[in-house]
Structure 1
Amino acid sequence: MSDFLRRKSKILFICFFVLLTCTACSTPRGKDGKVKVDQIISSETIQVKRKDVSIESVSDPKLKKQYQKLDANDTITIKPTTFSQAFSTGWFDGLIVWPLAMLINKISSATDAGIGIIITTLLVQMIVFALTGKSQMSSQRMQEIQPEINKIQSKYRGKTDQESQMKMYQETQALYAKYDIHPFGSMLVMFLQLPIMMGMYYATMRAYEVLVGSAFGMRLATTPMYAIQHLMIGGIIVYILMVVSQLVSTMLPQWLKKWQDKKDNVKKHSYRESEQQKDPMNMNLYMYMMVIIFAFMYLNWPLAMSYYWMICSIIRIVQQYVMHRVMHRAEAK
């Protein structure tokens, strides 16, 4: 486990840095769990009830005092959010969160919030793939051959002499060349996907149509925990599907590789097999733990995020399967 984390320390540091930069914008939810009134992004003039929003972050003292005098069912008028207003709070809000939230609002106003999130997610994933298709292919190949990389590393475990380290490096590079993998190319995918992931998080939290909207009769502003406590079957199903689809999308490249090797009758060497299986098991345990940790986090996030992650994971599963087929056919030729 520690070897795996040490090998991935640079990538983890970069991910942490990007996330830290993106999350510099203020949290959209107040202490009461409601969306802050000045964080709502709307494409038209709207009215919200005082009881449905948080007013603790209002910077204008007079306006805040005025809101505090309102009764729970009194309404607050919010004007359309402009690009300049969003950009004034930070580049991340202006360039990523605002466009995504406005797109969700526009589509949802003509359909419903669920379809708005689905179409926005599809469009975003298509754009990201158009920009990083080759890098995603390389990243998936890396995931698929990870057990082979772990076997090479296990073969030289404990050998710290320069000759052994050079042989391990050469065998790893030969494996990369065999599958046409460019390890650093996957970083481009991370740099694009992480800000967009955080952008969708904030957009689904702040978009007005999601705040008041629903999908298949479920209010997306509620949380999975609330759905569990009140036995809301639809919300519980969405949450479970989200967790399962995330787990499948995380492990699918390895499963596809094993299935393909079995189909192609690829023979496995049995020597030192028990020792070589330690690293794959540790890596899989790490992946399972990450899914479990995020599953607990999602319990208190809006159901809109579970809905978004479910759609995103399903798209990723289809994408991974298609890329696997394309790569296998290319290798066969």
Structure 2
Amino acid sequence: MEKRLITAIVLSILVILICQSLVPRPKEPMARPVAQKVDIPTIKKDALPTEFAQEPVSYKEKETIIETEKYILTFTDIGGSLKEIRLKEYLDHATGSPLILVSNAVENRAICSIQSDALIKFLYKREFSLIKQDPDKIVYEYLVPGAFKVTKEYNFYKYNDYIELHILIYNLGNITINKDYDILGASGLQSAGLTMGRSFLEATSMIDGKISRTTRIKNGEQLIKGIISWTGIRERYFCIALKPQQESEAVILKQFGKSNIASGVRSKIAPIYAGGITEDSYFLYIGPNIAERLKKITPDLDNIVNYGIFGIITKGLLITLRAFYNVTKNWGVAIIMLTFLINIIVFPLTRKSFLSMKKMQDIQPHMEKLRKLHKDNPQKLNKELAELYRQYNINPLGGCLPLLLQMPVFIALYQGLISSIELKGANFLWIKDLSSPDYIHIPVSLPFLGNQIHILPILMVVAMFFQQRMSTKHTPTTTKEQEQQQKIMLFLFPVFFGFIFYSFPSGLVLYWLTNTILMVVEHSTMKH
């Protein structure tokens, strides 16, 4: 019996350890064979004036602000790119203003910046002309007379989470030029006003029908060739993803310092003959990591969110949780209802576990006789105990079954709750934010705690104490040493869990508290 108790403790500790490192280390993208470039006639070195081969002289930047139902977007004529994104749907907790998702992304770090040496060097630094501005469209143009023209047309949709970008390249000369460029889709992603964001920063791409994830780019830049569906950067709550509408050459990943990774797409090399034109189109998703909204761009874009090894369970739990919210209109109540549902599902195992513990209690006198009879022969004792378990149809580890089943559910729910923007700012009773620890202010400052106390973890410790007390009553002991161990664990186990859960999101603690209370009620009911 003491072995079963130790096993349960070890498994519980494993739950906590796993939760501390739930976000798995992304696998580095596999190297793919480098495709050889097609030898296509291109612009000669002396076809453009010398000034276009040099870095452009700095000039006074002109910004253009576009406001939609979803965003406040700041464009710049430097490269005709997007430099700042504010989300009107979400507010910065410190300022109360629209949340800044991208700020001051300029030149080669700007979103939708074109980076190419095939047409002209430093295109992302050059001054584009604003030739059209409407509520639903903005158009930039860069012209090299007698050579080529690049047009960038951004289209906005009133209630959608994406921007549509069209890049048109006109060949104005009398020689063939190449369409060969990189476009940066996601860069500078941050979560100002929201905590725990940067630790989740990750570049994710769908290449050849498989997910590629990384958090650090080797050597500052990495190229991954294949069939490109989309590429993007995501953090705890939000993501930016670029989906090309035409066949592309590769995904390009870049590292700008320690805290900024970027992703983009390399176009397919193609000739643009004299007097010709080519057009590429892209969808740029900007918004929260909500599956229903991500799938509007493409059905598999929800895979940009990394839920870990129990991702399937996480998605199922979130679907159920949102269904309960649609009924109750309160996320706290929805979490409680989800906990009830999970306990109903696992109740047959809980009952089986209780009956197994009861049988163990009933055969305790027989076990004590066998221990005295074979105290000098451990092998014989184990054999006789195994036969006794078989005779009474008892699984000595049966009491661990509910815990084993709760482990993947707990981990999956943890992954889901910490990534769900819906819980950010969601209140329940005294809890102001279910995605963060709950707290109340106290008039004095306590050691290690300060002047704030997290109430839910304390309530959870109390509930776990009663649960442990009830469990130990059904766990017979044969020696004073075992009895002493039970008394120690009666207090140590709840306190240990309370310490670990003290800084967990209150939504997760609410789930565990409700689950513990339900287990106490179930045991009390089955006892009678």
Q: TM-score range by the shorter chain?
A: 0.5 to 0.7
Amino acid at match of 2:288: I
Decide which structure has greater helix share.
1
CA deviation digits over 1:94-114, x for unaligned, max 9? 311122123223323542121
Partner of 2:380: 166
Alignment of 1:13-92 (within 5 A): 16=14, 20=18, 25-26=23-24, 47=90, 49=99, 50-56=192-198, 57-59=201-203, 60=232, 77-78=287-288, 80-81=290-291, 84-85=300-301, 89=306, 92=309
TM-score by length of 1: 0.63
Give the whole-Å Cα distance in 1 for the aligned partners of 2:469 and 2:515: 15
Note if contact 1:15-1:194 (Cα within 8 Å) is conserved in structure 2: no
Does residue 135 (structure 1) correspond to residue 352 (structure 2)? The answer is: yes
Give the whole-Å Cα distance in 1 for the aligned partners of 2:196 and 2:16: 28
The CA deviation at 1:254 is 3.0
Does residue 189 (structure 1) correspond to residue 399 (structure 2)? The answer is: no
The CA deviation at 1:294 is 1.3
Is the alpha carbon distance of 1:227 and 1:127 closer, same or farther for their aligned partners in structure 2, counting shifts above 3 Å?
farther
Note if contact 2:314-2:413 (Cα within 8 Å) is conserved in structure 1: yes
Is the alpha carbon distance of 1:226 and 1:206 closer, same or farther for their aligned partners in structure 2, counting shifts above 3 Å?
farther
Does residue 115 (structure 1) correspond to residue 310 (structure 2)? The answer is: no
Partner of 2:415: 202
Give the whole-Å Cα distance in 2 for the aligned partners of 1:172 and 1:22: 37
Partner of 2:497: 294
Amino acid at match of 1:52: L
Is the alpha carbon distance of 1:224 and 1:11 closer, same or farther for their aligned partners in structure 2, counting shifts above 3 Å?
closer
- Root-mean-square deviation (Å): 4.5
Note if contact 2:467-2:516 (Cα within 8 Å) is conserved in structure 1: yes
Please say which of residues 298-307 and 50-59 is displaced more in the overlay. Answer: 50-59
Give the whole-Å Cα distance in 2 for the aligned partners of 1:205 and 1:168: 46
From 283, 302, 322, the equivalent of 2:486 is 283
CA deviation digits over 1:250-276, x for unaligned, max 9? 221333689xxxxxxxxxxxxxx9x82
Q: Secondary structure at the match of 2:424?
A: helix
Is the alpha carbon distance of 1:222 and 1:143 closer, same or farther for their aligned partners in structure 2, counting shifts above 3 Å?
farther
- What count of residue pairs does the alignment treat as equivalent? 275
Is the alpha carbon distance of 1:21 and 1:54 closer, same or farther for their aligned partners in structure 2, counting shifts above 3 Å?
closer
Does residue 125 (structure 1) correspond to residue 343 (structure 2)? The answer is: yes
Amino acid at match of 2:426: G
The CA deviation at 1:156 is 7.0
Q: Structure 1 vs Structure 2: percent identity of aligned residues?
A: 16
The CA deviation at 1:145 is 6.5
Is the alpha carbon distance of 1:79 and 1:224 closer, same or farther for their aligned partners in structure 2, counting shifts above 3 Å?
closer
The CA deviation at 1:279 is 1.0
Does residue 103 (structure 1) correspond to residue 320 (structure 2)? The answer is: yes
Give the whole-Å Cα distance in 1 for the aligned partners of 2:400 and 2:515: 20
Alignment of 1:221-232 (within 5 A): 221-224=435-438, 229-231=450-452
Give the whole-Å Cα distance in 2 for the aligned partners of 1:21 and 1:114: 21
Is the alpha carbon distance of 1:154 and 1:186 closer, same or farther for their aligned partners in structure 2, counting shifts above 3 Å?
same
The CA deviation at 1:216 is 0.7
Q: Secondary structure at the match of 1:307?
A: helix
Q: Secondary structure at the match of 1:114?
A: helix
Partner of 1:30: none
Give the whole-Å Cα distance in 2 for the aligned partners of 1:313 and 1:296: 16
Is the alpha carbon distance of 1:253 and 1:12 closer, same or farther for their aligned partners in structure 2, counting shifts above 3 Å?
closer
RCO higher in 1 or 2 (8 Å CA, sep ≥ 6)? 1
Does residue 212 (structure 1) correspond to residue 212 (structure 2)? The answer is: no
The CA deviation at 1:293 is 1.4
CA deviation digits over 1:116-143, x for unaligned, max 9? 110010011111224x255333454378
Note if contact 2:465-2:491 (Cα within 8 Å) is conserved in structure 1: yes
Give the whole-Å Cα distance in 1 for the aligned partners of 2:526 and 2:388: 22
Q: Secondary structure at the match of 2:193?
A: helix
CA deviation digits over 1:39-75, x for unaligned, max 9? xxxxxx964633124442142479598x98xxxxxxx
The CA deviation at 1:321 is 1.4
Q: Secondary structure at the match of 1:52?
A: coil
Amino acid at match of 2:508: M
Q: Secondary structure at the match of 1:126?
A: helix
Give the whole-Å Cα distance in 2 for the aligned partners of 1:21 and 1:239: 16
Give the whole-Å Cα distance in 2 for the aligned partners of 1:186 and 1:6: 8
Give the whole-Å Cα distance in 1 for the aligned partners of 2:515 and 2:4: 29
Partner of 2:513: 310
Decide which structure has greater strand share.
2
Q: Secondary structure at the match of 1:215?
A: coil
TM-score by length of 2: 0.43
From 238, 241, 254, the equivalent of 2:459 is 241
Note if contact 2:460-2:513 (Cα within 8 Å) is conserved in structure 1: yes
